[in-house]
Structure 1
């Protein structure tokens, strides 16, 4: 009961202070409002950006390893591309070997890309044509909403069948149902057997936007674009139980060295790339941005804290007589301490709430494909920081008030 009584008294005194000194209070709270807006605004923007990019990364496969000639590099440092340029690209035969022999892989596929113009009657579209194998949809999401996915026979024989993205379907076929229709790729007729669900434009489309893609059997793709040379990029997915993919990575490395006949002391002539490494690197970058935003916002919060502390000193001075009367009637020191401390916290929470409201309204600003979302964790963080500033700003004035001599306080003018 005492806690609720103290809280109610603090709220009542704080409300009276707000009403009697509205302009002074607003100006003092402005620092806290700007500080919370700066910190939570940066956190919200970074969280939204990170979520968007990681969603794009997940579209190229979760818990996967890519086998290619070029390693992915993140961070500073010179990239020795000339060292990797003459490496052989992964071959279809190597893909088949890994698919048949890897024990720690849940799925294996090989793919390649080519940009070209696709046509239907008088309509055309510059699309990304991607050659894939049957297990591709086990690693990357291929949400076919109309028609069907490839059959194993169509993939192995390289038949002229395609699955198209939603944007391509809209551009080439308009209101027509594309399923069963024939479209042209490099002068050849292909039957549309499936259409993907529309994904929409992302901030970062890793591997290309599926809405703008045409999927064809890998073997057919190589016949059209690489004169039948069956090379591409191999993608391998780990089992869920292989948390860090250490077993799979080690096994792939051993199998690739075996099939390429590398001696024990010879350097690998292939690269094993992991999307989770990119995600970890991005987490580090975004963490640094968050830290920078926090430091910038902290200066505003400190200014706001000084403003709140100034209000509390003035409030203690104005209510010295009341403090003396309360203590003469038996009020304990902690009652006076909590009374002013709660008031400081309450004032800072008001400033923090205004800052959060500004961030909320800012989240409605149209930034194209970037959706800004004010998360509950950021709201809680903002209110927590506001409360801490209130405690720090109000502790000394509240302590001074609690230690006043009641006789001297009553006599004060």
Structure 2
């Protein structure tokens, strides 16, 4: 987590020089990117190899900020998209494609914090959204819940992506508990979102206080952007680029399909027992209050330097498996980056977790009403 915090701080202070030790370099200039491996496979085996089309969509201001950071970092094998109802905010962000939603409804002036207006803006721009999602195999949708555009538009984006056959993973942040009315909006938005996604990865802003409590608000949110961007970049490039241990699209789909609510844990270590230390920290410090003993699956992304050993990677995978349900599916991938010499970073995404804050996972076969009734011990009359 330290490198993510330091990278975010450096970016917020305008110091992002390539000489910084904790710089996360885009892989576009790395070893693997100079070779078109799909073309190489086609030449070797004599048939056209399908690339998984991956689209990352930032919804609203918070989602746009994360996509901007991801675009700046560089991501190999994915298209970045930002959509917003605020024209001025959208203009300053960075993405491969930008969509100003709700032009007729809000005239580019934003939603004023009303999720229902955000939803209507997305519905108005449904055709434009469908166009950028056409043919997508995997869609990451990102938003901060609790305000207008992000909360209202992300369920629409995910519903469209799901209807077009994509695997849909939402990554959302929940407001600080002191934010009052935004909490209710966020919970309503999350309930809607969970009905149209395969998996929702939830990050509580309050949990960020543990890592960034002495930072300014701007810097703390930059840490969240860096965390989400690094996670998506890591998963995407472990799929699209050859790695020490590869994940493929089928692995991600196996774990994330109907995964319900997911939690993310991030840690790194440079100790003598760095692999064990990093994975244990990641498992014991997730950014959502959860019980993962009954989790249905896990994706583990490991980053190390040229000195990363295969037995260390295997140790991390084994420890994750030991801490989950015996029937849980665990897939892991590992990549080598020169700046991680001497240390190991572990990102663990646990699906199907139970959380007292979220009321546990929802699948398409298990309605929300039944789950709320079972969790709270009350009957709900419809």
Which of the five TM-score ranges fits, normalised by the shorter chain? under 0.3
- Structure with the larger helix share: 1
Q: State the structure with bigger RCO (CA 8 A, min sep 6), 1 or 2.
A: 1
State which structure, 1 or 2, has the greater radius of gyration over its C-alpha atoms: 1
